[in-house]
Amino acid sequence: ISCLNVARPALPRLLGVTDALIERGGFSFAGTEGDAGGNPWTLLREDADGGALPAVTDAASLTWQLHSAVGETYDAGGDRSLLRFVGALQGSIFQSEILIHADALREVYPEIAGPSYFLIDAPEDREEQVAEALRAALGEMGVQVRSTREVLSRYITVQNTYLTMFLALGGLGLLLGTIGLVAVILRSAFERRGEFALMLATGFTRENLTWLVLVENAGLLIAGMVAGTLTALIAVAPHLASEQANVNWSSLAVVLAAVVVVGLAACAAGARATVRGNLIEALRTE
């Protein structure tokens, strides 16, 4: 059910959480249902509400793959019981699984002989040694040993790929916008060539006209940027007010500054192109 799968899963993978892991706690929660008393994992011990077993999964998978939310129920399909999400993990290694209590998992799958998914808390300086020892001892059983760093890296790589795509599309949009801005400036200035010629005849210099066109269009650019930024902030205000908000304001400021700089450069280029040529000839055609 993670971002590694582009389709909505019909039969998500269920994992059973033991009492030992519940007592240990750990992991960051993006949201929970009700009062967890400092340990959201204990919510998995609640009784089934209307036949729906309490469950926990990753917040991103819950929102984008399962199209659900904390407090809502989810039909896992097949012969599995109805689930109710009581918690959502923040950036966890469980982006491909739904977690329920181990006892509930045995009720759903009574044929399960024993655990097949383990979390091993190895010393940081001996992680590779422990992994190699497990592969050597359990290799014949088909064991797969992966570090949490490796698991998270796979998810983050996919997310970064999407961000890169959107960044490329944003750059293309900036390029097209710049070209469009220059085109609008040139067309507007061409229609006003007679006006500019008259101003030249009355004592204005070409530098004066260049600054005049630049200030006019730069003012429109700045006004548009301010209006667009304020509108965007109002649109995302509910998310910014939530605890999950994590905005890189410095990067956003750099992008907006780059847009302003490129826009001003386009205005300057359009203004310089406007006053070139024989404007007096345009005055004769008026």
247 and 179 part of one domain: yes
Q: What is the DSSP letter of 43?
A: G
Please enumerate in sequence order all residues whose Cβ is within 8 A of that of 76, keeping only pairs 6 or more positions apart, or say none: 11, 12, 14, 82, 83, 98
Residue with tokens 């992966």: 146
108 and 36 part of one domain: yes
113 and 18 part of one domain: yes
Whether residue 144 is contained in a domain is answered as no
Last residue of a domain, one of 78, 93, 119: 119
Give the residue ranges of DSSP H helices in 192-205.
193-201
Asked if 268 and 215 touch (Cβ cutoff 8 Å), the reply is no
Whether residue 158 is contained in a domain is answered as no
Whether residue 128 is contained in a domain is answered as no
Torsion of CA 256, 262, 268, 273, to 10 degrees: -140
Whether residue 157 is contained in a domain is answered as no
Whether residue 136 is contained in a domain is answered as no
100 and 178 part of one domain: no
254 and 174 part of one domain: yes
Q: What is the pLDDT of residue 98?
A: 93
Torsion over CA: 88, 76, 50, 79 (sign): negative
Q: What's the Cα-to-Cα distance from 184 to each of 191, 217, 266, rounded to whole Å?
A: 11, 10, 10
Q: What is the pLDDT of residue 229?
A: 87
Q: What is the pLDDT of residue 72?
A: 92
32 and 113 part of one domain: yes
Total Cβ atoms within 10 A of residue 257: 11
Q: How many domains does the chain have?
A: 2
Total Cβ atoms within 10 A of residue 62: 26
Total Cβ atoms within 10 A of residue 91: 16
CA distance 216 to 238: 35
103 and 203 part of one domain: no
Structural domain harbouring 265: 170-284
Whether residue 162 is contained in a domain is answered as no
Torsion over CA: 176, 178, 181, 187 (sign): negative
Q: What is the pLDDT of residue 41?
A: 93
- DSSP result, 224-265: HHHHHHHHHHHHTHHHHTSTT----HHHHHHHHHHHHHHHHH
Kindly give the confidence (pLDDT) of every residue in the chain, 286 residues in length, as a single tens digit, with 9 standing for 90 and above. 555 665 666 678 899 999 999 999 889 898 898 777 789 999 999 887 777 899 999 998 888 888 889 989 988 775 567 899 999 999 889 988 999 999 998 888 888 888 888 888 888 888 889 888 988 888 888 888 988 888 888 888 887 888 788 878 877 887 787 788 778 877 877 777 777 777 877 888 888 888 888 888 888 888 888 998 899 889 888 877 766 667 778 877 887 888 888 888 888 887 787 777 666 666 666 6
200 and 259 part of one domain: yes
Whether residue 124 is contained in a domain is answered as no
